[in-house]
Structure 1
Amino acid sequence: MGSSHHYYKFQHQLPHPHLLLLLLLLLSLVAARAGARSHNSVAAAAAPSAAAAAAAAEFLDGQNSARAAVGVAPLRWSPALAADAAAAAKRQRPRCEFAELGKSPYGANQAWTSYPARPAEVVASWVATGKHYDRATDTCSGGGGDDDCGTYKQVVWRRTLELGCAQATCGGGATLTLCLYYPHGNVRGQPPY
């Protein structure tokens, strides 16, 4: 794969942020009940939910900031999309390669780094490709077509409503990141916003 970042584009949508808060509340109630039986199992159960919520916030914050900058409504987190992204990332972990999502009904952005990458860092790299986007002509100026700004266009695609993301750690500490978007963006002939 090389020692630098490699990126690929796709799309997907996010569910409403209140759903995530409701899910966290329910998980907290379940953990509190379990605590009466086993204090250790509560701590173990609560830690992954807090980490997942923090990662979801990192994925959402950077993308929603980019969307706000161009006057597009924020994305909502989708647990269903996040589960699909996690399943795809898990399947790709042994080879640490991008998932083949050509038949997927979702849009997607994927990234591979040779080191452990934070969600915010990956999102920032996708958003940074916006420097190659020319809104007047709806083209990417880097010479590589949509590969130069397709990830940005998916992030800011006006009709995309929901997002779900996951990361997998591969051999040698490499990170594979996948975000799914619904409805998908990057529709040829349509500007993102």
Structure 2
Amino acid sequence: MASSMFMALRAHGRFLLFLALVACADRAPVTRPEPVASLMGSPAAQPNAAADEFLTVQNQARAAVGVPPLQWSTDLAAEASKMVQYQKEQKGCDFVDMSSSPYGANQAWTSYPPSPAEVVGSWVAQGKYYNHDDNTCDTDAAQGDCGTYTQVVWRRTAEVGCAQATCAGQQEGATITLCLYNPHGNVQGQRPY
């Protein structure tokens, strides 16, 4: 008796699983920008070409000031991908306030689709406004913000993940780029290196 009851429950469970699969298969696919990592969620995943571009320029800047290289995080890349999708679909490709994020963040908006190396290069170029002796940015200079640079070279930051999304509508062709950093940098009163 117990055996036939178990068989009936098991068959019922398979039927419910079949119904769930059919219901999911009937949904329209959701399009999202792909994170630049090749295998989402796998910490040992090897980065792809875009991820390599993001890493190479940042790690060159880090090596120049004597800090260890960043590692690629597929989890951060997936989170960045979700965020640029949100920026694209809900914010008209405007920046979002990342101040409450547990991660450090660098964002870029361009009117064309730049390469990852080009975007990171613009962040690293802000290093010319950073004064290590007094740990300040030269805010009097044109575009004197150097927070994107200090996040790139922040000694305690160990991993990064980035994503890009191309905008539509009024900002068609524009591109949003976001890199997330863990642990975050730009801690007030601390030097990046």
- Conserved in 1, the CA contact under 8 Å of 2:185 and 2:192? yes
Would you say 1:72 and 2:67 are equivalent positions? yes
Q: Which amino acid aligns with 2:84?
A: A
Classify the secondary structure of the residue corresponding to 1:61. Answer: helix
Between the aligned partners of 2:125 and 2:52, the Cα distance in structure 1 is 19
Regions of 4+ moved over 6 Å: none
* 2:121 alignment partner, one of 112, 119, 124: 124
Classify the secondary structure of the residue corresponding to 1:190. Answer: coil
- Conserved in 1, the CA contact under 8 Å of 2:137 and 2:145? yes
2:192 aligned residue: 192
Higher relative CO (CA 8 A, sep ≥ 6), structure 1 or 2?
Answer: 1
Q: What stretches of structure 2 of length at least 5 have no aligned partner? A: 1-42
Q: What stretches of structure 1 of length at least 5 have no aligned partner? A: 1-17, 22-51
Classify the secondary structure of the residue corresponding to 1:177. Answer: strand
* 2:99 alignment partner, one of 66, 78, 102: 102
Q: Which amino acid aligns with 1:86?
A: S
1:182 aligned residue: 182
Identify the structure with the greater helix proportion.
1
Classify the secondary structure of the residue corresponding to 2:177. Answer: strand
Between the aligned partners of 1:101 and 1:93, the Cα distance in structure 2 is 15
Give the number of the structure whose alpha-carbon radius of gyration is greater: 2
* 1:139 alignment partner, one of 136, 140, 164: 136
2:32 aligned residue: none
Q: Which amino acid aligns with 1:181?
A: Y
Q: Deviations over 1:40-94 (max 9, x none)?
A: xxxxxxxxxxxx7111001000000000000000000000000000000000113
2:111 aligned residue: 114
1:19 aligned residue: 44
What's the Cα RMSD here? 1.8
Post-superposition offset of 1:100 = 2.1
Using structure 1 for the length normalisation, give the TM-score.
0.72
Equivalences, count: 146
Between the aligned partners of 1:147 and 1:20, the Cα distance in structure 2 is 37
Post-superposition offset of 1:147 = 6.4
Q: Which amino acid aligns with 2:189?
A: G
- Conserved in 2, the CA contact under 8 Å of 1:82 and 1:166? yes
